[in-house]
Amino acid sequence: MTESETGRVVEFAIGGMTCAACSARLEKVLNRQAGMQANVNLAAERARVRLSAAADEAAVVAAVAKAGFSAALVDGQTREREKAAKLLVYRSEIRRFWISVALTLPLVGQMFFMFGEHGHMNELPRWFQLALATPVQFWIGWRFYNGAFKSLRGGGANMDVLVALGTSMAWGFSTVVTLFGLDQHVYFEGGAAVITLVLLGKLLEARAKARTSEAIESLIRLQPKTARVERDGQWIDMPVEALMPGDVFLVRPGESVPVDGELIDGESSVNEAMLTGESMPVGKRAGDKVFAATANGQGAMRCRATGVGEHTLLAGIIRMVGEAQGSKAPVQRLADQISAVFVPTVCVIALLTFIGWWWTAGDFADALVNAVAVLVIACPCALGLATPTAIMVGTGQGARAGILVKNAEALERAEKITVLALDKTGTLTCGTPQVTDVVTYGLVRDEALSLAAALEENSEHPLARAIVSAAVSGVATVNRKKAANFKSLPGHGVEGEVDDRSLRLGSPSWLGLADDPAVAELQRAGKTVMVLAEGETTLALFAVADALRPSSRAAVQRLRERGIRVVMLTGDNAATAAAIAAEAGIAEFRAGVLPGDKAAAINELKSCGGLVAMVGDGINDAPALAAADVSFAIGAGSDAAVEAADLTLIRSDLMGVVDAIALSAATLGKIRQNLFFAFIYNVMGIPLAALGWLNPVVAGAAMAMSSVSVVSNSLLLKRWRSGR
């Protein structure tokens, strides 16, 4: 359950849905209720409902029950309960299927002997056929009658209506012929075979659908069950669920980190591939963050818990993947609209087929068989599974590659990006400025760094941190100094007294060196320059640069190869921006863009037409991310940026944007293929059945296999890998 500005969002596990018409009807029923806004996912068997003050969970359950389905609130144990329940149902269905096969095979087998010398004289006794077909029709096939009744009671019609109506017509006609000894062929084998084949299709479909949720299952399996926690100076093992923020826990070599935390003591390398997709271990030392389910290397780590339960990064990933898998892409709207009117339309076509054949050919039996074939071939299962199965597999593969998709709509739009705007610091660059050059005038390098670090000791500015970090590396040779009478002048620099010397450290323009050749040369190299001065005397120049990420240039090149226009937005001066843009291979950039102006820049790019995306990592990027058509947040960035973005890249790498666009193209490609196959199947199959060119048995087999083929095609997305 989550909170939103417009109400609570509650997730329910839905039971009893069999096709797209079911999910569409349930969604329609829920959206008609006061205070409810629902999204129903057939493949995931989930309903996400936004509730206002006028509705509650009980009202949702009641509305779902009235529509002919069951609903249960999703909680921490729901997935395990569902797995156990589905396993029992699956085993029961398998037993029923084999019983159905045993009863149907004699009926179907006799068809081969009927083509022999004595024709229909070789068929099984009709009373025996009736005895074999009846249990299949009303015991094995009871699920279709039950589903059809609930569907009609709820004001709609689904696949069960088609199967129940078609097979009942075949069984009823054959029973009348048998009871009254009429000189007509019977079609017991048709109804029984259709039910058996549909059941086979459902079993295969259930197996395939289970594989679409493997991504979430694999993430859940990563979570350790216990943790070694410090209590009163003793280490004890306790369930991970019992940990609280602030608890100190121990991760030994080879173990998985139980919760998110901060490393207190020890050094090690941690494999974070399950979160980032990167295979190389990440070195960890005191002060670094560790994340739940990541694998510790050779060293022991003593950590303090910072995020537990639903507040871990892994839990957030699982939650986001689940939400994305339950969302709908715009491309699905067409399928939903068609499914809503599909079944009634098919029933009309079947009726017209029956009337047309009986009127023109005068043969009631042929008219009935062709009408049954229309009903069977038209079952819209494949149509309903086309989009959600591809979305489920695609978002799952994305999660494994460190790409978190907030909703399916964003995944669809990503493929259509024409302009990509990106921030410089932390996106193109590493986000950790470092001192690259020290130019001194009358001082040794370490002395200059020591004086500058004394002035910047208490500052949190990135440039100040770079100065202090550079000085710390020389503490063995230079004594750390302290500043007195410290004063900060925002936009200019700092000043204070160090060793009785009045010093200033700040921008070249503030200290009158804006036109200095040495300063200009460093700035042309893409570096930010700070000047250390005593009175009017310049003591040193410090050049600070934020290094380009190793993969940024290759990522920009791949984006341009896709025909995407790349624009860099930065608050840096034009010289630094030009140098970084050139190094990254970016032809277009905008320098001196203030944080509040980035959203305006995005809107300006949108006004030129095309679909505009934004990549950012900081709080200052959040307005621009919200303004963009598609937004990417670097995972190491601020919570505000991650919240505003449509897609989150767990690894801080621009190549993740390339992978996300590639994933979007692959997923949308599968959706289009699935919809094409489903539409073509029904468009071609219904006329063939109406013209009498399809036997109901063949139609049943084709209908069952169509659903399996669509799901199997979606599963081919599992072959997608990042970096392609």
Radius of gyration of the chain (CA): 34
Q: Look up residue 429 and give its DSSP letter.
A: B
Query: Which single residue is written with the structure tokens 């947040």?
Result: 633
C-alpha torsion sign, points 440, 442, 444, 448: negative
Q: How far is CA 452 from the centre of its chain?
A: 48
Q: Please, what's the b/e burial string for 453-489 (b: 16 or more CB within 10 A of its CB; e: otherwise)?
A: bbbbbebeeebbbbbbebbeeeeeebeebebeebebe
pLDDT at 330: 64
CB hemisphere CA count around 574 (13 angstroms): 0
Q: Give the pairing of strands 588-590 and 565-569.
A: parallel
Q: Is the pLDDT of residue 256 over 70?
A: yes
Q: Is the pLDDT of residue 365 over 80?
A: no
Burial label for 121, CB within 10 Å (0-12, 13-18, 19+), is: exposed
Q: Please, what's the b/e burial string for 236-261 (b: 16 or more CB within 10 A of its CB; e: otherwise)?
A: eeeebeebeeebbbbbeeebbbbbbb
What is the separation, in whole angstroms, between the first and last Cα of the chain? 36
pLDDT at 559: 93
pLDDT at 478: 42
Residue that wins the pLDDT comparison between 669 and 392: 669
* Distance in angstroms (rounded) separating the CA atoms of residues 354 and 364: 8
Please state the rounded mean pLDDT for residues 185-212.
70
Structure-block tokens of residue 52? 């206002």
Phi/psi for 595 (5° steps) reads: -50, -40
Closest by Cα among 374, 383, 392 to 20: 383
Q: Which residues pair with 550 in a beta bridge?
A: none
* Distance in angstroms (rounded) separating the CA atoms of residues 31 and 11: 15
Q: What pLDDT digit, counting tens, does each position of 658-692 carry? A: 999 999 999 989 988 888 887 777 778 889 888 88
Residue that wins the pLDDT comparison between 135 and 219: 135
Q: Is the pLDDT of residue 582 over 80?
A: yes
pLDDT at 638: 46
Contacts of 113 (CB under 8 A, 6+ apart): 122, 123
Q: What percent of the chain is modeled with pLDDT above 70?
A: 80
Q: Is the pLDDT of residue 399 over 70?
A: yes
pLDDT class for 303, splitting at 50, 70, 90? very high
pLDDT class for 119, splitting at 50, 70, 90? very low
Catalytic residue at 499? no
Phi/psi for 115 (5° steps) reads: -90, 5
pLDDT at 700: 62
Q: How many residues does the chain have?
A: 724
* Distance in angstroms (rounded) separating the CA atoms of residues 218 and 533: 59
pLDDT class for 334, splitting at 50, 70, 90? low
C-alpha torsion sign, points 238, 240, 244, 248: positive
Closest by Cα among 426, 471, 440, 342 to 654: 426
In three state form, how does the secondary structure of 157-222 look? Answer: CCHHHHHHHHHHHHHHHHHHHHHHCCCCCCCHHHHHHHHHHHHHHHHHHHHHHHHHCHHHHHHHHC
Q: Which residues pair with 8 in a beta bridge?
A: 3, 51
Q: Is the pLDDT of residue 420 over 90?
A: yes
C-alpha torsion sign, points 569, 574, 579, 585: positive
pLDDT class for 566, splitting at 50, 70, 90? very high
Best mean pLDDT range from 94-108, 422-436, 699-713: 94-108
For residue 723, the tally of other CB atoms under 10 A from its CB is 10
Residue that wins the pLDDT comparison between 210 and 229: 229
For residue 91, the tally of other CB atoms under 10 A from its CB is 10
Closest by Cα among 136, 109, 105 to 122: 109
Answer for the pair 243, 227: CB distance below 8 angstroms, yes or no.
yes
Answer for the pair 252, 217: CB distance below 8 angstroms, yes or no.
no
pLDDT at 666: 92
pLDDT class for 248, splitting at 50, 70, 90? very high
* Distance in angstroms (rounded) separating the CA atoms of residues 654 and 656: 5
Q: Look up residue 428 and give its DSSP letter.
A: I
Q: Is the pLDDT of residue 333 over 70?
A: no
For residue 273, the tally of other CB atoms under 10 A from its CB is 18
Closest by Cα among 684, 64, 35 to 377: 684
Q: Is the pLDDT of residue 113 over 70?
A: no
* Distance in angstroms (rounded) separating the CA atoms of residues 60 and 68: 13
Name residue 350's amino acid.
Answer: A
Q: Is the pLDDT of residue 79 over 80?
A: no
Closest by Cα among 593, 533, 541 to 569: 593
Answer for the pair 251, 264: CB distance below 8 angstroms, yes or no.
no
Q: Is the pLDDT of residue 530 over 80?
A: yes
Closest by Cα among 379, 357, 364 to 692: 357
pLDDT at 1: 46
Q: Which residues pair with 199 in a beta bridge?
A: none
CA distances from 141 to 103, 167, 347, 502 (A): 13, 9, 20, 93
The continuous run of DSSP H or E covering 70 comes out as strand 70-73
Q: What percent of the chain is modeled with pLDDT above 90?
A: 13
Q: Which of 336, 423, 572, 653 is catalytic?
A: 423
pLDDT class for 249, splitting at 50, 70, 90? very high
pLDDT class for 5, splitting at 50, 70, 90? very low
Q: How are strands ordered across the β-sheet holding 630-634?
A: 403-405, 647-649, 630-634, 612-616, 419-423, 565-569, 588-590
pLDDT at 555: 92
pLDDT class for 250, splitting at 50, 70, 90? very high
CA distances from 85 to 76, 88, 686 (A): 16, 5, 36
For every residue of 451-503, DSSP letters joined together read HHHHHHTT---HHHHHHHHHHHTTTTTS----EEEEEEETTTEEEEEETTEEE
Residue that wins the pLDDT comparison between 539 and 621: 539
pLDDT at 476: 36
Q: Is the pLDDT of residue 382 over 80?
A: no
Q: Is the pLDDT of residue 287 over 80?
A: yes
The continuous run of DSSP H or E covering 538 comes out as strand 537-545
CA distances from 644 to 128, 396, 629 (A): 68, 21, 12
Phi/psi for 679 (5° steps) reads: -65, -50
* Distance in angstroms (rounded) separating the CA atoms of residues 368 and 696: 10
* Distance in angstroms (rounded) separating the CA atoms of residues 670 and 549: 33
Q: Is the pLDDT of residue 103 over 90?
A: yes
Query: Which single residue is written with the structure tokens 């500058």?
Result: 452
pLDDT class for 115, splitting at 50, 70, 90? very low
